[in-house]
Amino acid sequence: MVSPMNGRAELRDDKVITPFGDLAPRPDIRPEVLLRLSGKLQTTLELGQLLEIFLEEIQQAVLVDGLTFHHEPTNTTLAVGRNSLHTANYRLQTQQDYMGDMTFHRSTRFREHELANIEGLMTTLVYPLRNALRYHEALAAAFRDPLTGAGNRVALDKTLSREVELSKRHDQPLSVLMLDLDHFKQVNDEFGHSMGDKVLKEAVKAMTGCIRQTDMCFRYGGEEFLIMLSNADQSGALRIAERVRMGIGQLSFAGKKDKLQVTASIGCATLQPSDDTEELVSRADTALYVAKDSGRNRVISDLDIEYTRQGDVSEEPSPEPNQEANGH
């Protein structure tokens, strides 16, 4: 260490190395700010609300326009405030848990002491965020089919009722697909139930890979699934249904003896003004059974059934004049 002595610099033997971390700016945050923030973060387990509280409170200490949170394991992305040109990115990790990635946004560059303050403020978020993520995961599990990861019947009932109401209120189209894996009983009988479970899982992956982010897939029962297509009219729903059918048809599984190919039959129905959720699902279900009776591995619309029925109805022949005369 160099120290002044009698106007001269003298090199002493006791060398001291200053850690690099000690040279970095330290947080400059009043204790009452941290205490208030910590208390407010303990008031909710709802993830979005937690992030809103955090942003609102830290803006009193650091100028931040907005933040974005992403949690890869649950495919959760939440944005609070507004995006801006400059960002600061952090990965939230304890020794036991990965808790996501946080990005802060603002219109001007962050300075070193401001980043230090952000990091100091984030220490109050760690445990409330972990608790909120666990609550979010538990809540999601209650509405998810444990085998396939698709939504379960409880989630379907809640979601479809809401979407039907919103579609009617905003005059937007809504369609549903009823899908059944063809000859699935034979899969279990010939290849075993473990193979059947694998087919169900991979089929759901194929479905979700073929639909839009706004669409949702639910396990209706057994090997039957319902796909809800928000803001999709009949032609759009049929395009998605055909894409789903082809995606499942490309699945291939290696059995002990033979290779297993899977196909699906799909019924499609689009919401009508007089429909409730039961009528909408019933028409999709009817279209599904027509698809199965027609040879399987195909898509049938509820309107296709109506056209067919109309074509089957023939007019009653008019009585001939001589028949009427004989009748009297």
* DSSP 8-state symbol, 256: S
Within 8 A by CB and 6+ apart from 145, the residues are 151, 152, 218, 219
The pair of structure tokens assigned to 101 is: 């990635």
Q: Establish whether 324 is a catalytic residue.
A: no
On whether the CB atoms of residues 264 and 249 are closer than 8 A, the answer is yes
Rounded Cα distance between 264 and 269, Å, is 17
Specify the residue for token string 């039957």: 224
What 3-state class would DSSP assign to 325? helix
On whether the CB atoms of residues 99 and 71 are closer than 8 A, the answer is yes
Closest to 177 (Cα-Cα) out of 262, 237, 233: 237
- Would you say how long the chain is, in residues? 328
Rounded Cα distance between 242 and 210, Å, is 10
The active-site residue out of 56, 223, 242, 320 is 223
What amino acid positions are annotated as catalytic residues? 223
